[in-house]
Chains A and B, each alone.
Chain A
Amino acid sequence: DARVTQTPRHKVTEMGQEVTMRCQPILGHNTVFWYRQTMMQGLELLAYFRNRAPLDDSGMPKDRFSAEMPDATLATLKIQPSEPRDSAVYFCASGLTSGASSSYNEQFFGPGTRLTVL
């Protein structure tokens, strides 16, 4: 049963510390998304990649957040330094798209990383 995996599932850290979240997309999927979910803002897209190339990171605070795909099986989201306002659930999702406007498939979400910054 193919699914997106995320590690860690929970992370508690202190303000100023570096946080790295990892995602393994479904094998064969070529598009990876990072979302943040909070009560106040709902579900926000932070960044996404197609074929490992970053296509859009406009939703991400550039000064402290960075997202990468070292290879097709791993996506990372890093926060350095972390702040209490970064506390949220971070979701990774993957999908298979051709880029053509006429072709679009659904995204599959991982279980999320619940981050608490004290």
Chain B
Amino acid sequence: AQSVAQPEDQVNVAEGNPLTVKCTYSVSGNPYLFWYVQYPNRGLQFLLKYITGDNLVKGSYGFEAEFNKSQTSFHLKKPSALVSDSALYFCAVRVYNTDKLIFGTGTRLQVFP
């Protein structure tokens, strides 16, 4: 069965410091992995995806994610955090051979000035 885990409910980081939001997955077949961000009272916004190819995927707003097959991880990263990055971040994995995504429980990122 497919699943995705976000082990941290909240991540706190100072502005200007690098940030990492963790995600691990379990899938059948090749993993199709996604990161979304949700700002207060808004829908989810797509950040980036891994389908195949380079293990380092670059996305919107300076975010990137590293696919690690041996560790079954897809951590979200940014070299220098901004206060405006504070939001709820969701990792998702595609259910094999369907259009469905399974979302993690979300990680709240707080960037302090």
A22: Cβ under 8 A from any B Cβ: no
CB pair A111–B103 under 8 Å, yes or no, is no
CB pair B43–A109 under 8 Å, yes or no, is yes
Instruction: Knowing A104-B32, A106-B46, A111-B43, say if A95 contacts B97 (CB, 8 Å).
Output: no
**In this complex, what residue of A is CB-closest to B101?**
A107
B49: Cβ under 8 A from any A Cβ: yes
Chain B interface mostly: loop
CB pair A107–B43 under 8 Å, yes or no, is no
- Chain A window 79-118, contacts with chain B (Cβ cutoff 8 Å), 1 for yes, 0 for no: 0000000000001010101010100101111111000000
Size range of the interface on A?
20 to 34
The total of chain B residues at the interface (CB under 8 A) is 24
Of residues B41, B101, B104, which shows the largest number of chain A Cβ atoms within 10 Å of its Cβ?
A: B101
- Chain A window 3-39, contacts with chain B (Cβ cutoff 8 Å), 1 for yes, 0 for no: 0100000000000000000000000000101000000
CB contacts (< 8 Å) of B103 on chain A: these are 42-43
Instruction: Knowing A42-B105, A91-B43, A91-B44, say if A104 contacts B94 (CB, 8 Å).
Output: yes
B51: Cβ under 8 A from any A Cβ: yes
A45: Cβ under 8 A from any B Cβ: yes
Instruction: Knowing A42-B105, A42-B106, say if A104 contacts B44 (CB, 8 Å).
Output: no
CA distance A7 to B96 in the complex (A): 32
CB pair A50–B99 under 8 Å, yes or no, is yes
CB contacts (< 8 Å) of A4 on chain B: these are 43
CB contacts (< 8 Å) of B29 on chain A: these are 101
Q: Which of the residues A56, A108, A111 comes within 8 Å of B100, measured between beta carbons?
A: A56
CB pair A95–B42 under 8 Å, yes or no, is no
CA distance A61 to B25 in the complex (A): 27
CB contacts (< 8 Å) of B41 on chain A: these are 111
B98: Cβ under 8 A from any A Cβ: yes
Beyond A56-B98, A101-B97, A108-B46, 14 additional contacts (C-beta under 8 Å) are A4-B43, A33-B100, A43-B106, A50-B99, A56-B100, A91-B43, A93-B43, A104-B94, A107-B46, A109-B43, A109-B44, A109-B45, A110-B43, A112-B43
Question: B residues engaging A (CB < 8 A)?
Answer: 29, 32, 34, 36, 41-46, 49, 51, 90, 94, 96-101, 103-106
